[in-house]
Amino acid sequence: VQWRFAIEETIGSVQHRYALKFKELIETRSEGKIEVTIYPYGTLGTSDQITELVDMEVIQFAMASPGHLGKLIPEVQVFLLHFLFSDDDEINNKVLNEDPKLQETFDELYARKDLKLLSIFSEGWQVWTTKKDIQKPDDFQGVKMRVMTTPLLLAAYEAYGASPTPLPYSEVYSALQLNMIDGQENPVFAIQEMNFYEVTDWMIFARHAPFITTAVTNREFFNSLPPKRQQLVLGVVSDLNGYILDVQKQFNRERLNLIRKNRPKLNIVDELTPEARIAFREASQPVREQFIEMTGEDGRQLLEEIKATIKEYERKQTP
């Protein structure tokens, strides 16, 4: 049997490591009866096209990032809200993967689109790379910020006064190079492997949001599998949760050093001042209302549920 797994990132990325480990575990645990083929970004199309291929069952597995998937499932845009998640990656990981109520909610939302959600995880903090320094919301005035393609991200940057421009991942480098956009956001590892640091002068760690992605499969395909194979898949993705958190941290740490080495002149702002963070946090609040407008009462409940779960885990964490 052959299973196909498409990722939204290139070889050497966090998603690639996820897919490689998935392949390894599926192949060994099925004693070679299942073979997994990985399709890196660029071989099958944009994120949207990859999701469509899962829908049509041309491929069985894929990564579907809320930044793009939000057009299909508006509720996943909750993951794009700024200053919602904890500063602690471990807590976010638990919130995303251990809370049964949230799991159930998302399972249902994905099911409506004939998808089965397998895993939700963070690939690291979003970092702004821009052509000018950004210290406060007002500095975004008129900045053409590239965002992923869901509507909530437009709202998120309009709230700071920026002019957000949605583009697929593959077009970001040339758009920066040709000055069609003035900045973009992505985790460090992606900024390194897509070379965005070559065509921007500032790298700013605002820690406004983690980059969250989801692993999905075609629901009918999954339901048609014998129970043992279903268990195999669920076991593997569950084992991958802790693994990918370590990979993500390592990649983001190592690649920052690589960026520093390759472009010593790049201005790196490690963190915003507490005052600046407060200003951004405040400016971002109305976007929550826009999220609720896009998703209705269900969205409001989901947002409340996530906020409460984060609080609960934060309380548990502090001894």
Q: Based on CB atoms, which residue is closest to ligand 6CS, 47 or 309?
A: 47
Instruction: Give the residue, chosen from 3, 4, 8, 78, that forms a contact with ligand 6CS under the rule CB under 6 A.
Output: 8
Instruction: Give the residue, chosen from 148, 159, 244, 306, that forms a contact with ligand 6CS under the rule CB under 6 A.
Output: 148
Give the pair of three-digit tokens for residue 166: 């949605």
What residues between 29 and 68 interact with ligand 6CS by CB under 6 A? 47, 65, 67-68
Q: Based on CB atoms, which residue is closest to ligand 6CS, 186 or 309?
A: 186
Q: How far is the CB of 108 from ligand 6CS (least distance, A)?
A: 24
The count of chain residues that interact with ligand 6CS, using the rule CB under 6 A, is 13
Sequence-separated contacts (24+) of 228-235 with Cβ below 8 Å:
229/30, 229/34, 232/26, 232/29, 232/30, 233/26, 233/118, 234/118, 235/29
Q: Based on CB atoms, which residue is closest to ligand 6CS, 43 or 224?
A: 43
Q: Based on CB atoms, which residue is closest to ligand 6CS, 49 or 231?
A: 49
Q: How far is the CB of 156 from ligand 6CS (least distance, A)?
A: 14
- On whether the CB atoms of residues 47 and 64 are closer than 8 A, the answer is yes
Q: Closest residue (Cβ) to ligand 6CS?
A: 169
How many alpha carbons lie under 13 Å from residue 5 in its C-beta half-sphere? 24
Q: How far is the CB of 41 from ligand 6CS (least distance, A)?
A: 7
Instruction: Give the residue, chosen from 186, 200, 217, 252, that forms a contact with ligand 6CS under the rule CB under 6 A.
Output: 186
User: How many whole angstroms from its chain centre is CA 305?
Assistant: 20
Q: How far is the CB of 169 from ligand 6CS (least distance, A)?
A: 4
77 near ligand 6CS, rule: CB under 6 A: no
Q: How far is the CB of 94 from ligand 6CS (least distance, A)?
A: 22
Contacting range for ligand 6CS; rule: CB under 6 A; set: 104-112, 183-191, 248-256, 301-309: 183-191
- What residues form DSSP beta bridges with 317? none
- Which candidate, 204, 244, 213, places its Cα nearest to that of 90? 244
9 near ligand 6CS, rule: CB under 6 A: yes
Q: How far is the CB of 215 from ligand 6CS (least distance, A)?
A: 12
- On whether the CB atoms of residues 107 and 216 are closer than 8 A, the answer is no
123 near ligand 6CS, rule: CB under 6 A: yes
Q: How far is the CB of 252 from ligand 6CS (least distance, A)?
A: 11
Instruction: Give the residue, chosen from 18, 39, 160, 211, that forms a contact with ligand 6CS under the rule CB under 6 A.
Output: 211
Q: How far is the CB of 307 from ligand 6CS (least distance, A)?
A: 25
190 near ligand 6CS, rule: CB under 6 A: yes
Q: Which residues bind ligand 6CS (CB under 6 A)?
A: 8-9, 47, 65, 67-68, 123, 148, 169, 186-187, 190, 211
